[in-house]
Amino acid sequence: MINNVWLLAIAGGALVLGAAIAFAIMRQRRLRPDEKRAQDANIDRLYTEPR
């Protein structure tokens, strides 16, 4: 009986983790072109301005 509980806990944990990762991947969205340009400009600014 205790072995079944451990199996359920381990398999259930992996299932929940997999579901959470899948949910996070599905919720991601692509940047709009104006957002992408702003991001690229900020990255260029960070790498070109002196510290």
Confidence label for 2 from pLDDT (cuts 50, 70 and 90): confident
Average model confidence (pLDDT) across the chain: 93
Q: Residues 31-49: pLDDT tens digits?
A: 999 999 999 999 999 999 8
Tell me the C-alpha distance between 35 and 41, whole Å: 10
Of 42, 21, 23, residue with least CA distance to 31: 42
Q: What is the pLDDT of residue 50?
A: 82
Whether this prediction's pTM lies above 0.95 is answered by no
Domain limits, the chain: 2-48
Residue 51 has pLDDT above 90, yes or no: no
Q: What is the pLDDT of residue 1?
A: 80
